[in-house]
Amino acid sequence: RHSRQKWFEIASFPIFNVGGLGSLEELGITLCNMKLSILEPIPVILFDTEGDGRFWDGIQSQIAEMVRKGRAPAWIADNIVATDDPETVIRIYRERLQLF
């Protein structure tokens, strides 16, 4: 886990694929590091490799509830993108890097 986390520290744009508790832990660490300004606010991609586009719905609902109750800043939710479309990922990265 620690070597994978090191790659998250190096990577500019984390992409989380469908996974288990380890993926959930790494997502939490990434979001906490953004909140604590260890990482700059960056797009965090929740990529649904199962193709139905709903795998990450529960996480997004939980984060939205945290924002609503004042337990997380709204900008965190604004930086999370859940998609099952690779073209969406490329578009977001191009926008962020200002590549057209």
| Percent of the chain with pLDDT strictly greater than 70 | 86
**Per-residue pLDDT tens over the stretch 9-44:** 555 788 999 999 999 999 999 999 999 999 889 899
Whole-number pLDDT of residue 24: 94
Query: Sorting pLDDT into bands at 50, 70 and 90, what band is 95?
Result: confident
Domains and CATH numbers, the chain: 2-97 (3.40.50.450)
Q: What is the 3-state secondary structure (H, E, C) of the chain?
A: CHHHHHHHHHCCCCEEECCCHHHHHHHHHHHHHHHCCCCCCCCEEEECCCCCCCCCHHHHHHHHHHHHCCCCCHHHHHCEEEECCHHHHHHHHHHHHCCC
pLDDT tens digit sequence for 43-74: 999 999 886 878 999 999 999 999 999 999 99
pTM of the model: 0.82
